[in-house]
Amino acid sequence: MALRADLLPALAAFESAARHQNFAHAAEELHLTASAVSHHVRKLESRLGVTLFQRHARGVSLTAEGRQLADAAGSAMADMESVVRSLRIARTEQDRVHITTLHSLTYTWLQPRLPQFAALHPNVRLTVDTEVALTRFDEGGPDLGIRHGAGHWPGLTAHHLMDDHLFPVASPTLPGLDAVRTPADITRLPLVSDLARQGWHDWLRAADVHGAAVEEHYRFSDSTAALNAAVHGLGATLARDKIVAPYLAGGVLIRLPGPALKARWGYYIVYPAHKRLKPAARAFVDWLLGLPQDDA
């Protein structure tokens, strides 16, 4: 006989009862009553024309026919559970966006804005990778990245996100700060730098300060580390306007005299040119590009 849809609840009740060898335990698992499970089993027995359980005072036990059906039903249920689990994982992965970006930008610029994205897209899950090494966008790698550079990377589509500007900052408690009135005065302070391609020499040239001796007392590989060094009073450092904003807002750093030098490089959203972004990743890119320019 053909398997009809109206038998599926009875088969589910039978499979659970066969696995537990107990109608009451099956009822608890299925959120039914024991009598409802018994009814489903009797319906199945009636339709099939066989006895599936031997009923006795101590409970129930499977007949030979019942064991045969239980093996098939259990295997089918396990297969379906495996498929359902795979579909759920696939759906979860479709909603997960893997991003690679800079630690300094993540900490000071991206994270404070993420609650806005979460409110707009509550189902999207983000994985943010801030490894120093340049990430490859190969199979199993990140969906997209935010890179700092000239905007041209082989094999990648790049969207300009925002420009970068440099200006000097220091802790308001830094000794000698009271004597700083002009950009040239800054050179008398202890100087902190990072490994960016533009540094103190570039900024001083833009500030029309020439011939001054520039001695970098401390050098860090990361922009955030350089800013924290300035916070702790080690000296003045050149700050990127997007990264330093929360430090200035909190009053732990103040801007020193002089211009904001536009950096040669800016921030770009990048992803493989040959690969179509999944909807969750596209939503994240669109949100980034839609940020107001004074926010971005």
User: Per-residue b/e over 250-265, b at no fewer than 16 CB within 10 Å?
Assistant: eebbbebebeebebeb
CA 215 to chain centre: 40
pTM: 0.67
Would strands 125-129 and 96-100 be described as parallel, antiparallel, or unpaired? Answer: parallel
Which residue carries 């993540």 as its tokens? 106
Per-residue model confidence as pLDDT tens for the chain (296 residues): 445 667 788 888 888 988 888 998 999 999 999 999 999 999 988 888 899 998 887 778 899 998 999 888 888 877 777 766 765 655 555 789 999 998 889 989 999 999 999 999 999 999 998 875 556 676 667 899 999 899 999 989 999 999 999 999 999 999 999 999 999 999 999 999 998 888 999 999 999 999 888 888 999 988 889 999 999 999 999 999 999 999 999 999 999 999 999 999 999 999 998 888 999 999 999 999 999 866 66
Nearest-angstrom CA–CA distance, 202 and 197: 9
Nearest-angstrom CA–CA distance, 203 and 214: 11
